Structures are given as structure tokens and as C-alpha cells.
Amino acid sequence: MAIAPLSTTLSEEPTAAPARSVRRTRGGIEWPTVAVVAVIVAILALLVVYPLTRILYTAFGPAGAKVMSSMVTSPVNRGILINTLGLGAAVGALGTVLGFLLAYAQVRVDFKGKRALHLICLLPIVSPPFAVATAIITLLGRRGIITYGLFGAQADIYGFTGLTLVLVLSFFPVAYMNFRGLLQALDPALDEAASNLGANGWQTFRKVTLPMLVPGFAASFLLLFVEAIADLANPLVIGGDYTVLASRAFIAITGEYDVAAGAAYSVVLLLPAVLVFLVQRYWVGRKSVVSVSGKPAGKPRQITAAAGRVPLMVFAIAVGFVVVAVYATVLLGGLVKILGVSNEFTLDNYRYVLSGIGNESIKDTTILALVATPIAGLLGMLIAWLVVRKLGPRAAALLDFLGMLGLAVPGTVLGIGYAIAFNTPVIRNHRMFFPALGGGSAILGGAIAIVMVYVIRSMPSGQRSGIAALQQIDKSIDEAAASLGANSITTFRKVTLPLIRPALLSGLIYAFARSMTTLSPIIFITTPSTQIMTKQILSEVDAGRFGNAFAFCSLLLVIVLVVMGLLSLAVRRGSLPNQSSRGTL
């Protein structure tokens, strides 16, 4: 094991290095730790608490209070609220079932192509928000390749049906990954015991496997519910007349120029999102299903009966085919004039994207994402380290909650909060910080505000993976480093961080992918001085130039995959064989 030599060396040879004095407070906490906590709390307060405070202040002002009261008195606003909750419930239920069935087939059914199917299921995670919606319109719209081209039907895909389909296809990987991990962690001995007692496959699934997965169903439903009600991009593209709170807040800000109304709609959207977040945290903290006291022995039991194996395999392959068809439409759509109408090969779409404003948006978005990625990754690891290693239960829970707020708060709410909070020319010219991006007169439309949003939105993933990794590392390693005189910062930098390198890699990859593909939080804080790819894609879709939108989506997907590969390679090469076993203090 890589950890054992370090623990042995540090514990058995405490006098191998000269002890250093570590400055501590009266309570025994090191001053460097106090400084790190203070800095991180200040950063979180600036990035998420302050914008939320400003949006709440605006929403509960005289103008905003009228809008909030109208959510009860106005039939139109009541309908918007019902639409939002209904959409969230539908996407949560369907996405959870879809993710479960795919994960169950992946873990319990043996068939060829499982690895390829797994990668296909992950595609929506790293794709831009418009890719699925635009492809579905092209395939199933009024003049869709399938609906009109094959069946001669003019289907109306806009509205609740199309929006639900798009959101389920976009977010089911969240449930899929959740259930896949749960199913792989179940002890196969449970199935064997049920079989020895005379239970058939269906009885074992219904009475043993399914009850063990109840927390996973609850967590997946809540996550997908929040993702659905918070999404802005897809309602703008395929929502039609089906108005939800996110799109209504967007219209209030950008169309009616009513900041108070936009803030009020956002607060109404914020309430169920935060409530679901708190319920989920309570559920995870209180509910646990333990199958074994040690690690599972053996591989999960495979389904061999044709009655169960064939339907699951056909279903999984069918879903994989649908996902492939969606992304094949995206790739082909950028290489023809008008997919389904004029299928003549052309590179005009890519010429347009790679010139002028399109080229600027690619450059700006990539640079900003690359700037935000290491900041988000390091902050996530620091918060995880403080939560697991340095703080008491109450302080750790509070810091963990503040760090996760960036993910719990809907992007639309956060974006409007930033627009309200940072709409003054704090920095007259950000060229000194980001010379490739050109000048900007305010933090609102400049690069700094966008980087701030990228950091606070993508940091929670690294935070969660860091906490999970640190909980698996023995605390005696830190104690051994302290016995040699290393302070907390030195221990984190030279001992802890190398040990949690996989968690850091996961946080970096997620941070870059989310930064490149996000729209809801930044659409309110961009100006012509800083171009963002997702906003340009939305403009192309609104103008009906689907070929340009497909080209944008394809390039964005390629950039994300390439940088993810480079990040993985860089982090792995940076890990020397003996670095994790013998740190140098």
C-alpha cells in the first residue's frame, strides 16, 4: 500500500527531522489554519452569500413584494409556479427510472459493448446545454427528419412534452452514475443468501435489492428535480408557451428591464431548490443502508434468464442509440447547409464560427474556464480538508453548507444576484488581468465576474470528492507529520494533497466541463466586451441558424474532451511513484 510506508516512517522515526515550533491559539488551533478558514469564509461570502443577500433584499422590496404576492393571487403566476413544479416532478421521476434501468443493466446484465454504452451515457454531462434540445427539434420538430421526413407528420415538439424529453436526456446521467455506484457496492452475498432460501430472481430484486436502493432513488429524484426547475437554456429553446420560473425571471430582466420582478421570481425559484437541498442533506446524514461490515466479496450476480436479460439489454441499447442519434445530429448538422433540408456538405458553418465574434467567444470562454478550473479545484480540496480534518462538527457542517450553496442555488438566481450585486465599475479595466480578453468597464460584464461564477458553481463537486477521499485516509498520517514539526499548511501541501490526487483530478475535470457549458448564471453578466460560447449558441438558435449552432456545439465538445484528457495526463504524470509513500517535510 502507498500509505503504509509513510505512516511507518513518520511514526517509527519521530526524531529523523528536527521538530519545528507550530504557533497555536489558546484553544490549540494553529494560526495558519485560522488564517485559511478566514480567507475561505471571506471568499464564500463574496462569491455566494453577498449576491444572495442582495437578491433577497431586492425581492422583498416594495416592487418585488408585489410580484411575490402575485404568485398566490395571480392565476398566470400560479400557473407558472405549477408548471415549474410539474416539470421538476416529471423529469425527476422519469430521469431516475431511466438512470436506474441503465445502471442495473450495466452492472447486472452481461452483454457486449457495456464499456461503450457507459461512455455514451456520460456524453450529456460534458455537452453544451443546447445540444440535445437543438438536435431534438431537428429530428422531431414540425419539419423534423424523423417526424416529417419519415412519417409525414408535423409534430409540435415545443412545450411540456419536448422540454421533459430534452431534460430527461440531459440529466439522466446524474441518476445513472448514482445507481451504478450503489449497485456495484452491494454485497453479492445478499443475492446468494436469498437464492439459498428459495427466492427467485424477481423476488430477490423486489425484496432484497430494491429496498437497499431506496436512498438512491430519493437522492436521484431530488437532484434531478432541482436540475430541472433551475434549467434556463432548454426552456428558452424548446419551452414554447410552457413558461417556468427560470424563463420568466429571464424575460423580466432582459425583456421588461424589471430587476425587482426578476429578483422576486428568482427567490420563488430559490425556495424549493434550497428546501430540496436541505432535505437531501438530512436524508444522507440520517439514512444509511449497510449491507456488510467489510468490502463486498466477488462480482455482482449476473442475470442469465432470458425473461430479465433480454428486455434490459434491448432497453439499454435503445437508449444508447437515441443518445448516439442526438449527438450524430449535432456533428452532422455542422457539416451540411441545413440538415434534413439541404444536406449538401459545407464548411461554411465552421468558417463562420472560427471567424469574428465566434472565434472571440471560443478564445474568451476557454481562457476563463482555464483560469477558474485550478482555483475551483484548490478551493474544493481546502474546504474538504478543513471539514474532515480541522474543524469541529458544527463549524465543519456550516463550512460544508456554505461551500455547497454554489451548487444548491439555481444558476438563474445566482446570475441575477451577481447582476444586482456587481453592477458598478469596480475594476475599470480587466486587461491587466486577462490581456487576451480586451477591456471592460465593470465587474458585471468583465472576465472577473464570470470567473467568480465559474468557481462557485464548479467548486462543490471537488469539495464532495475531496471529502470522500479524505474520509478514507487515516488521520495518523497527519498526526505523524505534526510530530515532525510540520504545520497544517505544510502537511496539506506535501502529504494530504498528493494522497487525494484522484479527487483533485475529478474536481478539475468537472470544473472545466461545467465552466465551458454553463449558461444560466452568466447570461445576465456578459457584455460585448467578453463573449461566451453558450450565449453565442443561444443567439444562433434564436436566429434559426442551426448549422452554426451545431458547429459551435461540436467545437465546444471537442475542446472539453481534449482539455479533460490533458488535465488527466498532467495530474497523473505529476504523481511520482514514491511521492505518495514518502513525503518530504
Identify the pLDDT of residue 431.
Answer: 40
Please name the helix (run of DSSP H) or strand (run of DSSP E) that holds residue 344, with its range, or none: strand 342-345
Per-residue pLDDT of the chain (585 residues; tens, 9 = 90+): 344 443 333 334 444 444 444 444 444 556 777 888 999 999 999 999 999 999 999 999 888 888 888 888 899 999 999 999 999 999 999 999 999 999 999 988 888 888 899 999 988 988 887 789 999 999 998 888 998 888 888 888 999 999 999 999 999 998 998 888 888 777 777 766 766 676 666 777 777 778 888 878 887 898 899 889 989 989 999 998 999 999 999 999 988 889 999 999 999 999 888 888 787 776 655 554 444 444 445 566 777 777 778 888 999 999 999 999 999 999 999 999 888 888 889 999 999 999 878 888 999 999 999 999 999 988 998 898 888 888 888 888 899 889 988 888 888 999 999 988 887 544 444 443 333 333 333 444 468 889 999 999 989 888 888 887 887 777 777 777 777 767 777 777 777 777 777 778 878 888 898 899 988 888 888 877 788 999 999 999 988 899 999 999 999 999 998 988 888 787 666 554 443 333 333
Identify the pLDDT of residue 442.
Answer: 43
Q: What angle do CA 464, 470, 475 make, to 5 degrees?
A: 155
Identify the pLDDT of residue 393.
Answer: 86
Distance CA 417, CA 54 (A): 6
Identify the pLDDT of residue 29.
Answer: 58
**Of 165, 141, 145, 166, nearest in space to 155 by CA:** 141
Q: Collapsing DSSP states into helix, strand and coil, what is residue 112?
A: coil
Q: If you ran DSSP here, which 8-state letter would residue 141 be given?
A: S
Write the secondary structure of 535-577 as one string of H (helix), E (strand) and C (coil): HHHHHHHHCCCHHHHHHHHHHHHHHHHHHHHHHHHHHHHCCCC
Distance CA 245, CA 257 (A): 16
Cell for 40?
475561505
How many helices (H) does the chain have, and how many strands (E)? 27, 2
Cell for 268?
420563488
Q: If you ran DSSP here, which 8-state letter would residue 234 be given?
A: H
**Of 100, 49, 33, nearest in space to 389 by CA:** 33
Residue 411 near residue 230 (C-beta atoms within 8 A): yes
Identify the pLDDT of residue 244.
Answer: 95
Q: Collapsing DSSP states into helix, strand and coil, what is residue 392?
A: coil
CB atoms near residue 539 (< 10 Å): 15
Distance CA 358, CA 372 (A): 21
Distance CA 581, CA 548 (A): 51
**Residues facing 345 on adjacent strands:** 336
Burial code (b: 16+ CB inside 10 Å, e: under 16) for 446-478 equals bbbbbbbbbbbbbbbbbbbbbbebbeebeeebb
Distance CA 266, CA 68 (A): 10
CA 303 to chain centre: 32
**Of 28, 23, 26, 21, nearest in space to 391 by CA:** 28
Write the secondary structure of 1-34 as one string of H (helix), E (strand) and C (coil): CCHHHHHHHHHHCCCCCCCCCCCECCCCCEHHHH
Identify the pLDDT of residue 430.
Answer: 41
**Residues facing 342 on adjacent strands:** 338
Identify the pLDDT of residue 468.
Answer: 77
Strands (E) located in 235-295: none
**Of 138, 155, 140, nearest in space to 553 by CA:** 138
